C-alpha cells in the first residue's frame, strides 16, 4: 500500500498535525516527487491516538502532544521537567524505544510506538 501526501495537504494542517506528518515522512524515508508535489511511502498512516514526545536539552524539558480522533479526553499532553515527571507508561515505552535505532527508516514496535529521531518518540497509549 502506498501512502501519498500532497504539499497542499501539509500546508493546510495546523502546526501540531504538521509536526506528526513531518515525523512520519522522516521516519519512513518518504520519497519526494517534484512533478506531482507529493511525498510517497510504502507505510500506512497510524490510525489511533499517538503521543509525540520530544526531549529537549539533555532531558531537562519534554514536550508531549497527542494527535488522533479521540484526543479530546487526553490528559497527558503538556510540558514536563524531566523523564521522571512523565506518566509511568510513557517512561517505560521510551525506555524500550531508546534501544531502537534513530536512523531512518525507523520501524514501529507493536504496542509501544516508534522512534522518530534521537530525541523524538511516538508512543501508543496502553
**How confident is the model over 34-84, as pLDDT tens digits?**
888 899 998 888 878 889 999 987 667 899 988 876 655 556 778 899 889
Answer yes or no: do 74 and 112 share one domain: yes
Beta bridge pairs of residue 120: 54, 117
Answer yes or no: do 57 and 16 share one domain: no
What per-residue confidence (pLDDT) applies to 117? 94
Which residue range forms the structural domain that includes residue 30? 3-41
Determine contact, residues 115/105, Cβ cutoff 8 Å: no
Answer yes or no: do 66 and 119 share one domain: yes
% of the chain beyond a pLDDT of 70: 92
Of the candidates 68, 69, 57, 61, the one whose C-alpha atom is nearest the C-alpha of residue 113 is 68
Of the candidates 43, 46, 41, 2, the one whose C-alpha atom is nearest the C-alpha of residue 20 is 46
Answer yes or no: do 37 and 69 share one domain: no
pLDDT of 11 > 70? The answer is yes
Answer yes or no: do 80 and 113 share one domain: yes
pTM score over 0.95: no
What per-residue confidence (pLDDT) applies to 74? 59
Residue 119 DSSP symbol: T
Answer yes or no: do 59 and 33 share one domain: no
Answer yes or no: do 113 and 59 share one domain: yes
Answer yes or no: do 76 and 93 share one domain: yes
Answer yes or no: do 37 and 72 share one domain: no
How many structural domains comprise the chain?
Answer: 2
pLDDT of 111 > 90? The answer is yes
Residue 104 DSSP symbol: S
Amino acid at each position: 500500500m502506498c501512502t501519498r501526501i500532497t504539499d497542499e495537504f501539509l500546508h493546510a494542517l495546523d502546526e501540531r498535525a504538521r509536526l506528526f506528518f513531518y515525523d512520519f515522512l522522516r521516519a519512513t524515508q518518504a520519497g519526494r516527487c517534484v512533478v506531482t508535489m507529493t511525498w510517497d511511502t510504502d507505510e500506512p498512516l497510524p490510525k489511533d491516538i499517538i503521543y509525540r514526545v520530544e526531549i529537549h536539552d539533555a532531558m531537562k524539558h519534554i514536550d508531549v502532544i497527542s494527535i488522533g480522533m479521540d484526543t479530546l479526553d487526553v490528559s497527558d499532553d503538556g510540558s514536563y521537567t524531566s523523564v521522571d515527571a512523565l506518566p509511568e507508561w510513557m517512561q517505560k515505552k521510551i525506555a524500550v524505544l531508546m534501544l531502537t535505532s534513530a536512523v531512518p527508516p525507523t520501524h514501529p514496535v507493536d504496542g509501544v510506538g516508534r522512534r522518530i529521531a534521537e530525541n523524538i518518540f511516538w508512543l501508543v497509549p496502553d
